[in-house]
Amino acid sequence: MPEIRRIVLELLAQLGSSREARQYLKEFSEVDEARFAVVKVGGGILESQLEELASALAFLHRLGLRPVVLHGAGPQVDRALEEAGIETHRVDGLRVTDEAVMEVARPVIYRQNMRLVEALEERGIRARGIQHGVFRCDFLDREKFGLVGDITSVDLSGLDSAVSSGALPVVTCLGESASGQVLNINADIAARELVWAIQPHKIIFLTPTGGLLDRDGRVISAISLDNDYEALMKEPWVHSGMRLKLQQINELLSKLDRSASVSITSADQLTRELFTYRGAGTLVRRGEEVRVFEAPDEETLRQVAGRVEQSFGRTLRDDWVVTLNQPLVLLSESMRAAAVVITGADGTPYLDKFIVTPDAQGEGLGAALWQVLRARFPRMYWRARTSNPVAGWYFQQAGTADRRGGWIVFTVGVDDPLERAALVEDALSRDSGWEEEAV
């Protein structure tokens, strides 16, 4: 491992556990180099947190990650216009850009672009300012808005060239018409089109508040649109700005892979957000992701054991995790749903534990986990006590169910009656791992 990467990993380890850092570094390194992340930076951040921003981006660069940075320059343009004695007009939230406005705005936008590029280069990081050639536009409505662009296509060749030469692309929100007229583009719209063109794994919005805030002004840690969107939109405390943000993110994610996520955080929290489970900011995704651990280490197994104990309200024997035969773990991101599958009789997968914590029930998390489980194991068997409240649900999922005393043994994908009988016997003789009933 190159020296620098090792040092960086050590640094990351201080944020959380080094296992978390490694896991995310692996995840982020596995996607196509130019598709790791789009980072949208408001002009205000270039003003107040340039140093933090440059060092967070430089850090990612040293790890071999190449985020694409898109920045606005709203406050700087506002100020320059004011100094030039030009009034700012907005219509439908868009800056009306006549020629006089463009004359003032353009150099200001270039200047902001250069400031970030320079701040990165001062840290020994290669960066490339890309002011043109990305967004091909039509006039949105020349009468109404003047030189404002409506993006018709996005050309990624300049970005790809920067990334493949090892530079961080730093893109402005300017576009051109077919004849080369420079046009102003609203930063949210530019971000959306860029994201759809790149299809990144992560979308990062850097804001001064460092996340979306709840009614008490605290950062909301995670939002799952599938589960939370409708309810949030009905909340009286979700005000128009946040409502719009949520709508935009919902639209953004609807055209991306399910594994994509949006992180809203601040420049100084970016590293923590990216390289720890808990993050620092607001993570928005469509639904919760289910992770598969093929060969879970003891720490992961112990974590799962803790969850199992919590949801059954019983204690597992301390050696439970080490007695499992070739365990495989499925774990939802929030760790509120988990399954442990081991190798059972004749190599048939045995579902040893399946849990959904009470607060996650009704979110569809159990069903999501089950789907991943079934896709992975077309054949398996498991057991449940007749008194288990989930037994009714298992009946619906299972192919067969055999009742024996206080137990029910379920199978799926097992057609041969002899085999089924053997699996039922095996399931009934199994050790559950609970402390008070060692076999």
Whole-number CA gyration radius for the chain: 26
Least distance CB 12 / ligand ARG (angstroms): 11
Instruction: Compute the least distance from the CB of residue 214 to ligand ARG, in Å.
Output: 13
If one asks whether residue 283 binds ligand ARG (CB under 6 A), the answer comes out as: yes
Nearest distance in Å: CB 293, ligand ARG: 16
Determine which residue in the list 263, 269, 300, 411 makes contact with ligand ARG, applying CB under 6 A: 263
Q: Which residues pair with 149 in a beta bridge?
A: 139
Q: Give residue number: closest CB to ligand ARG.
A: 279
The minimum distance between CB 438 and ligand ARG, in angstroms, equals 38
Closest to ligand ARG by CB, 56 vs 412, is 56
Cβ-based neighbour number of residue 85 at 10 Å: 7
Closest approach, Cβ 48 to ligand ARG, in A, equals: 22
| Contact between 21 and 89 (Cβ < 8 Å) | no
Q: Does 15 contact ligand ARG by CB under 6 A?
A: no
Candidate residues 188, 193, 273, 352; the one interacting with ligand ARG per rule CB under 6 A:
273
Which one, 19 or 111, has the nearer CB to ligand ARG?
19
Q: Which is nearer to ligand ARG, 221 or 248 (CB)?
A: 221
Identity (one letter) of the amino acid at 353? K
Residue 47 tokens read as 């003003």
Q: Is the Cβ of residue 27 or residue 426 nearer to ligand ARG in the bound state?
A: 27
- Cβ proximity to ligand ARG, 276 vs 397, nearer residue: 276
Q: Which stretch binds ligand ARG (CB under 6 A): 50-58, 281-289, 394-402, 413-421?
A: 281-289
Minimum distance from residue 37 beta carbon to ligand ARG (Å):
9
CB 284 to ligand ARG: min, Å: 9
Q: How far is the CB of 221 from ligand ARG (least distance, A)?
A: 4
Q: Which residue from 55, 224, 271, 282 is in contact with ligand ARG, where contact means CB under 6 A?
A: 282
Q: Closer CB to ligand ARG, residue 252 or residue 384?
A: 252
* Alpha-carbon distances of 311 from 222, 355, 357, 358, 360, rounded to whole Å: 22, 7, 6, 7, 11
- Nearest distance from C-beta of residue 34 to ligand ARG, angstroms: 18
Angle at 324 between CA 320 and CA 326, to 5 degrees: 155
Please report how the helices 240-254 and 187-198 are oriented relative to each other, as an axis angle in degrees rounded to 10.
20
Task: Take residue 372 and report the two structure tokens written for it.
Answer: 């991943």
Q: Which is nearer to ligand ARG, 260 or 338 (CB)?
A: 260
How would you classify residue 211: left for phi > 0, otherwise alpha for psi between -120 and 50, otherwise beta? left
Q: Candidates 43-51, 226-234, 279-287, 337-345 — which segment interacts with ligand ARG by CB under 6 A? A: 279-287
Distances 203 to 164, 238, 248 between C-alpha atoms, Å: 20, 22, 12
Please, which residue, 162 or 204, has the CB nearer to ligand ARG? 204
Q: How far is the CB of 418 from ligand ARG (least distance, A)?
A: 47
**Which residue number, 282 or 300, has a Cβ lying nearer to ligand ARG?**
282
Mark residues 21-60: x for contact with ligand ARG by CB under 6 A, - for none: ---x------------------------------------
Q: Which of 147, 225, 274, 360 binds ligand ARG (CB under 6 A)?
A: 274
Give the interface segment with ligand ARG, choosing from 68-76, 103-111, 232-240, 273-281 (CB under 6 A). 273-281
* Binding positions for ligand ARG, 171-230, rule CB under 6 A: 221-222
We find the least distance from the C-beta atom of residue 232 to ligand ARG, in angstroms, to be: 16
The dihedral sign for the CA sequence 120, 63, 283, 253:
positive
Residues that bind ligand ARG (CB under 6 A): 24, 221-222, 261, 263, 273-276, 278-279, 281-283
